[in-house]
């Protein structure tokens, strides 16, 4: 072999993308032995070793153990059913990843459409929106555990355009509450109460008329935490403003 066909372990690592530690381990278990050694005992690898390593990596892709890979390479054969099962398993893994990617892309499109008209957006509101999308399945599971299937299906049966429109309304109302707190508005003021009225209409619309029923479950539930975009000061303002709204609107019951 020419010098061009021989690689030190460092050079072999760079060509193969496999760490020196892994190469030494493969050597110790007789999976991939170096073709030669220097006079000082350092490992030397060849292009033939590189081809063998590529076979090892190919079989690892199918989730075969190193022991299985060693046997298959030594025998230069494998059962067709075994290979077929591994291929189908890998296909299922990538189908799942594909679905996850599609869902992530859908969530990103949702966020883009929701905030595209906003010059600035409060980061707490944005994070709450992001959490809502990220933990949508957990939220649905919480509802399934606490309410009937019919009610859960009704709450989550909303198309994307309706959901985006709803999230835009939520973004505006939450931003208004933050602004009112920032300017130290009086909770009983007309502007504050109009914002609370908008919030209540939005909450009733989002819960499809089941707000009181859902509110009964929230205080006793420790299994799931809904995203909260408010600071402590904003929560204090919101609670006081809603208590005033409750006092002036006897048909509404607010549970802290």
The 10s digit of each residue's pLDDT in 52-87 is 999 999 999 988 999 999 999 988 888 888 889 989
pTM across the whole model: 0.57
Beta strands in 28-169 (DSSP E): 36-37, 43-46
207: Cα within 13 Å, side-chain hemisphere: 14
State percent of the chain over pLDDT 70.
Answer: 91
Residue 219 has pLDDT above 70, yes or no: no
Q: How far is CA 29 from its chain centroid?
A: 38
**190-217 burial by CB neighbour count: b if 16+ within 10 A, else e?**
eebbebbeebbebeeebbeeebeebeee
Residues 176 and 59: their CA atoms lie apart, in Å, by 58
What fold is seen in the domain 3-78? Multidrug-efflux Transporter Regulator; Chain: A; Domain 2 (1.10.1660)
Residues 136 and 153: their CA atoms lie apart, in Å, by 13
Domains of the chain by residue range: 3-78, 118-248
Contacts of 98 (CB under 8 A, 6+ apart): none
| Confidence bin at 177 (pLDDT 50/70/90) | very high
Residue 244 has pLDDT above 80, yes or no: yes
Q: 37: which strand partners?
A: 43
At 250 the pLDDT is 65
DSSP-derived secondary structure letter, 30? T
Residue 94 has pLDDT above 50, yes or no: yes
The 10s digit of each residue's pLDDT in 109-123 is 888 888 888 788 888
| Contacts by 70-76, CB closer than 8 A, 24 or more apart | 70/29, 70/30, 70/31, 73/31
CA distance to 192, 214, 221, per residue, from 206 (Å): 21, 11, 20
Return the structure tokens found at 156.
């989550």
Among 133-142, 159-168, 191-200, the range scoring the smallest mean pLDDT is 133-142
CB distance 73 to 56 below 8 Å: yes
| Confidence bin at 190 (pLDDT 50/70/90) | very high
DSSP-derived secondary structure letter, 183? T
Residue 202 has pLDDT above 50, yes or no: yes
Regarding predicted confidence, which is higher, 107 or 245?
245
**Of the ranges 116-120, 127-131, 228-232, which is most confident?**
228-232
Tell me the torsion sign for CA atoms 224, 228, 234, 238.
negative
Q: 6 by DSSP, 3-state: which? A: strand
End-to-end Cα separation, the chain, in angstroms: 80
CB distance 224 to 172 below 8 Å: no
Mean residue pLDDT of the chain comes to 86
At 144 the pLDDT is 86
Return the structure tokens found at 141.
């599971």
At 254 the pLDDT is 47
Residues 226 and 215: their CA atoms lie apart, in Å, by 12
The 10s digit of each residue's pLDDT in 1-60 is 555 689 999 999 999 999 999 999 999 999 999 999 998 999 999 999 999 999 999 999
Q: From the CA atom positions of the chain, what is the Rg in Å?
A: 30
């Amino acid at each position: 072999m020419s010098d061009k066909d021989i690689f030190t372990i460092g050079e072999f690592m760079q060509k193969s993308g496999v760490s020196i530690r892994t190469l030494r381990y493969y050597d110790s278990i007789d999976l991939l032995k170096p073709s030669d050694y220097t006079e000082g005992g350092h490992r030397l690898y060849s292009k033939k070793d590189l081809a063998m390593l590529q076979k090892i990596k190919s079989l690892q892709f199918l989730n075969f153990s190193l022991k299985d890979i060693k046997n298959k390479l030594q025998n230069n054969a494998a059962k067709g059913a075994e290979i077929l099962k591994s291929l189908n398993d890998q296909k299922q893994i990538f189908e799942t990843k594909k679905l996850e990617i599609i869902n992530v892309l859908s969530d990103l499109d949702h966020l883009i459409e929701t905030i595209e008209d906003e010059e600035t957006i409060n980061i707490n509101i944005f994070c709450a929106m992001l959490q809502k999308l990220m933990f949508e399945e957990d939220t649905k599971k919480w509802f399934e555990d606490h309410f009937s299937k019919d009610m859960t299906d009704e709450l989550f049966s909303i198309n994307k355009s309706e959901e985006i429109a709803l999230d835009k309304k939520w973004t505006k109302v939450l931003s208004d509450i933050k602004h009112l707190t920032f300017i130290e508005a009086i909770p009983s003021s007309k502007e504050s109460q109009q914002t609370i009225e908008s919030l209540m209409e939005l909450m009733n619309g989002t819960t499809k008329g089941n707000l009181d029923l859902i509110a009964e479950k929230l205080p006793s539930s420790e299994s799931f935490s809904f995203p909260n975009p408010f600071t402590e000061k904003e929560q204090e303002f919101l609670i006081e403003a809603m208590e005033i709204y409750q006092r002036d609107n006897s048909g509404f019951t607010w549970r802290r």
